[in-house]
Structure 1
Amino acid sequence: MVIIMSVSVLEGMYAAEAEYFTTGDFAPLQSFFAPDFVLHQAEGLPYGGVWRGHDGLERFFAAMSRTWAAFDFVDQTFLATTSPLVVLTNVRARARATGRALGFPILQTITVAAGRITEVRPFYWDTAAIAAACSA
């Protein structure tokens, strides 16, 4: 039951994330994250740093929206389905500043407790290439 619940939390969050990039409405996303949530993004990215709580997460999504004109999950594979979950995601994205399109994988560890995401640690294969694509 815990495995199914954790995966369903992520599936719901990914659907809400896709909706956010269409509507800009953060409210549907907030319910998937604990109030003390922490996101660790690689410092070399345009939206790098540590983002904390719902306010930090909302600022992170705004930064992502400023960076990417499109950010689509092409496919996802759940490599571990107990917390922390491990998800391999292939992304197809287009940078706002340059219009450059690129594809890249992200491996994430995602901690879920009491039905909410408490921590996310994404690992990018090439942060320099991503940052370069986003720089005019």
Structure 2
Amino acid sequence: MSASSARATPDPNLDPSDVTMEKRVRPERKLVNDYNEMLTADGEGAFADRLRGFLAEDAVCHEASNLPWGGSWSGIDGFVEMFGAFARSMEEAPNVTATGVSAGPASLMARGELVFREYSLVVPTTGNHPSEHPCIERYLIENGRIQSIAVFFFDTTALVKLLQ
């Protein structure tokens, strides 16, 4: 077969608008990426004010109910409370070094108004053995803001056990 006759067959399941090229990133993906960078950066100003740059005023986050910070959290104030509950649960866990908690490298996939983020929550332990907890988050983007986030840890039981 000659090089001129070897042509790639387009994938009928691929929407060309979802393809991310080096110079073009879907705005939904960029929003989710920038939001997560903001969460890990030392930012100036009140945390609630920084959240407002990314979240709809009535945004909601759903976390597994068996987690110490679990439940459904609504609005900017709800997100502030959720992140506070998350931080307290890490600080109060006897086997966790809370200052080193981080999200490992993430992969983002966008399809229309939905963005999926896959990563591992890395929790340092007092025994110097990081505990990794795979997670997928589903973001719904509306009007250029995050409207909802649903968080799915692979094994919430293991995460809860670590925090006890």
What's the TM-score, normalizing by structure 1?
0.84
Structure 2: give runs of 5+ residues left out of the alignment.
Answer: 1-16, 19-24, 91-97
Unmatched 5+ residue regions in structure 1?
Answer: none
Does 1:72 pair with 2:94? no
* Residue range with higher mean Cα deviation, 36-45 or 66-75: 66-75
Amino acid of the residue matched to residue 5 of structure 1? Answer: P
Partners of 1:100 and 1:133 within 8 A in 2: no
More strand by share: 1
User: Which consecutive segments of 4 or more residues in structure 1 shift more than 3 A?
Assistant: 22-25, 98-101
Aligned residue type for 1:91? L
Aligned twin of 1:128: 157
Quote the residue 1:30 is aligned against: 52
Shift of 1:82: 2.7
Q: Hey, what does 1:82 align to over in structure 2?
A: 112
* Structure 2: distance between partners of 1:125 and 1:46: 16
Q: Give the drift of 1:78.
A: 1.4
- 2:105 match: secondary structure: strand
What secondary structure is seen at the aligned counterpart in 1 of 2:112? Answer: coil
CA contact (8 A) 1:95 1:134 kept: no
> What is the match of residue 15 of structure 1?
37
C-alpha distance 100-54 of structure 1, shift in aligned 2 (>3 A): farther
Counterpart contact for 2:67–2:160, Cα < 8 Å: yes
Deviation at 1:84, TM superposition (A): 1.4
Question: 1:4-57 CA deviation, whole Å, 9 max, x = no partner?
Answer: 21111111101110026x889413223210001011100111100000001100
State the AA in 2 paired with 1:128. T
CA contact (8 A) 1:51 1:57 kept: yes
* Deviation string, structure 1 residues 80-126 (Cα, Å, up to 9, x no partner): 34321111112212379x99741011111100111110000011111
Identity %: 23
C-alpha separation between the residues in 1 aligned to 2:111 and 2:152? 18
Distance 2:62 2:125 in 1: 21
Partner residue, 1:42: 64
Q: Contact 2:32–2:115 (CA<8 Å) still a contact in 1?
A: no
Decide which structure has greater helix share: 1
> Number of residue pairs matched?
133
